[in-house]
Structure 1
């Protein structure tokens, strides 16, 4: 079946504009709009004909309310045979070569009755009353109608049920049309099959939808690429991603060959998703690179940057984010924060600070622990300590642990603001949640030492040495030991000086 469908796909080269719904609601709305628009033509057509003209046209109404595929999508017409006669002789011959059928004629009484039903359904906007009239026609006995008449009665019933949003009965009566496929035109059979495939899909009956669309592809004239994309969506719903990829790519190849460009964004989007699920990230990047050219939108640029970063292409990630920013696509806080991270990884922290500050200024980025901490880190890496302190101090209002206070203590120590250093170290110890607690205590001890509080500093270093020993941090333990020795020597020196002064 697979190879045969591919042959059908390429057996013709003329373009087609069939529309395939992307979701269940869109699919139903599309069918409903086309059906209502085209069926409304029935009343006006019948009312414009005299009795004599209708009798004369009897040979032309043998396919009452047939549904024919057109370049625009659907054609629902009470004068299906008349429309069929407008086609070229070669088209009719081609159809006869595909399947020879003797189509029974719809008699005038049945045509009149269906015209009345159509007026009730559309003009009076009463599909329920129309169904009652159709049901009475059936109750009079199906033997009084030929297969073509029954098929058109069922088609009218399916249409009424569809307006009532009764999908199960819509499916039921479309299926009954196909019970008389030898008595109806190939066009009605074809469009009924295609409609059923979409209805099955909308009801999540994916196996039935797949069988029906595959059968339809075998009889359809020039189906174009859209139905093959529809097949791909069915395989996607069935989690058969390899087959879905095959049919999306088939649809894209057909559309490209026929010049139906640009390829629909949704097609590239599905192909990108499928390859992502298959963890074929090289293909995902290839597709995103196409999308940013054909559909330059924020999501494509940001996703491309993310994929570059995931695959280790840091420079390309930076260029992608830069492009997104220049094109004005940064409209979310996450965009600025991601860009800040990329610039930090590229060792240009001052630019990271500038662009994140821009996000604050245009109110895209809100003040939070994460955003303020990120801005502070950018300034700190750029050696802009005063600016970093200002941001970290603002971030303390949102802090839930002591990490930001430890960072401030480090900065204050570097700025020789030892009292602030000691205070922030105390707050970090009180808040908790700090890794390597001995490092924080060493920091606190250094601040106290520089404040001249040698005894207090020694006590803190003793605690830090104990914590470092417990944590098996040999280098930290050695550092605390050195500090303790230094403080001991310094205290001895000070005592000696004091004794000398006293004598």
Structure 2
């Protein structure tokens, strides 16, 4: 961007054959008219024919990529600088800058263009375009304070309003310099000037504004800029980012609404974004949508069928009370897991489904694998499952083990009393039936 703009603003020197007295650093008709006006207010010496011919020769060599030869011609001109006027010297240094710039010798180009503006008097438009080019070159080289300094010199010469692009360049420089407060003032001014004319600022202007607000830890403002980016430059990444900002602001319902809308428009494509949306469905008590989203993403290969994703999918179906769908997913996840946590959860699910044999098998496997957060709970499940199969002694043994763990102790004691009572009743009944 800088290179293209620099060429337009400062390096496209028009040398009209046979016109030696007119200003030559012309950018376009408007700039030409401005310089003609300057002739009335700023006395500028003329460019003599013999100097012009040498500069034109250097230009021709440069156009043929004969850089060293072009520099040699300029060096020959420079050897006679004592006899040259300010305009001629400025044009000579301008050509040095032009050649060094095209050769990507930016430090030399900067020095040459700085020598241009040291020559006085020169046409004001020529000086202004060179100052702006210097600001851009210093920006490219990371000299952000100098970028600001040359822009301010340009603004002192400017007769009209300061254009938005100046504020933009200042904002870019201050952002790179980590002076975010000043950068914010400049980018806000740039955007306001464009919007005042009922025009839409360029996309990268909003992106810079968003970045500055983010660095200044102003999430509300970041959200507002993202809303503008969606309005003017409808891109999926802005929908996702806006959803993220609503999440950061604690506005989860709006976050879900934005991301769901993004999904419907086909903007939720990455695995991480799909998983994030599924989590939002889960936490907003819409687990079926989360489960279906996860299943579709795994079917399409957007999400892997790994332990994390299978665990979450099983949780979604379980929360939706779709145990028949949750169980096979949980089994697949448990097979991938080295600890017994998922097997313990399976045991609880089977118990709730009144599948006592499966509950016993899953809970035993959980205890065998170990590394359980609450082993007492698996013993408790075993006790309940054995009780429902009328294996009272086995139930009491497991409940006794459960009592050794604080998290399960109270419930295990209550169940032990209940099992004891039921055991006595069952044995009495059996005795009566057999007599």
Q: TM-score, normalised by structure 1?
A: 0.78
Provide the secondary structure at the position in 2 that maps to 1:110: helix
Provide the secondary structure at the position in 1 that maps to 2:405: helix
Distance (Å, rounded) in 2 between the aligned partners of 1:33 and 1:426: 78
2:332 corresponds in structure 1 to 394
Distance (Å, rounded) in 2 between the aligned partners of 1:391 and 1:106: 84
1:374 corresponds in structure 2 to 312
Distance (Å, rounded) in 2 between the aligned partners of 1:498 and 1:383: 38
Conserved 8 A contact 2:271-2:302:
yes
1:105 corresponds in structure 2 to 46
1:11 corresponds in structure 2 to none
Q: Where do residues 45-444 of structure 1 align in structure 2 (5 Å cutoff)?
A: 46=17, 54=18, 57-60=19-22, 63-64=23-24, 66=25, 68=27, 84=32, 87=33, 92-93=36-37, 95=38, 100-122=41-63, 124-138=64-78, 140-180=79-119, 182-220=120-158, 221-259=160-198, 261-444=199-382
Q: What's the CA shift for 1:394? A: 2.6
Q: What's the CA shift for 1:152? A: 1.1
2:413 corresponds in structure 1 to 481
Conserved 8 A contact 1:121-1:127:
yes
Conserved 8 A contact 1:127-1:163:
no
Distance (Å, rounded) in 2 between the aligned partners of 1:427 and 1:151: 87
Distance 1:70 1:491, change over 3 A: farther
Conserved 8 A contact 1:268-1:291:
yes
Provide the secondary structure at the position in 2 that maps to 1:184: coil
Distance (Å, rounded) in 2 between the aligned partners of 1:33 and 1:178: 18
Distance (Å, rounded) in 2 between the aligned partners of 1:358 and 1:497: 54
Q: What's the CA shift for 1:120? A: 0.9
Q: What's the CA shift for 1:222? A: 4.4
Distance (Å, rounded) in 2 between the aligned partners of 1:431 and 1:133: 84
2:400 aligned residue (444, 462, 482): 462
Distance (Å, rounded) in 2 between the aligned partners of 1:398 and 1:115: 76
Cα RMSD (Å) of the superposition? 2.8
Q: What's the CA shift for 1:230? A: 1.2
Q: What's the CA shift for 1:143? A: 0.3
Q: Which has the higher contact order (CA 8 A, sep 6+)?
A: 1
Conserved 8 A contact 1:198-1:209:
yes
1:84-127 CA-to-partner distances (Å, cap 9, x unmatched) read: 2xx27xx744x468xx43212121111111111111111x2122
Distance (Å, rounded) in 2 between the aligned partners of 1:397 and 1:233: 54
Conserved 8 A contact 2:9-2:130:
no
Distance (Å, rounded) in 2 between the aligned partners of 1:306 and 1:111: 61
Q: TM-score, normalised by structure 2?
A: 0.89
1:14-72 CA-to-partner distances (Å, cap 9, x unmatched) read: xxxxxxxxxxxx42354358777x35x65xx54xxxxxxx2xx3322xx44x254778x
Conserved 8 A contact 2:9-2:133:
no
Provide the secondary structure at the position in 2 that maps to 1:58: coil
Q: What's the CA shift for 1:414? A: 1.8
Q: What's the CA shift for 1:405? A: 2.4
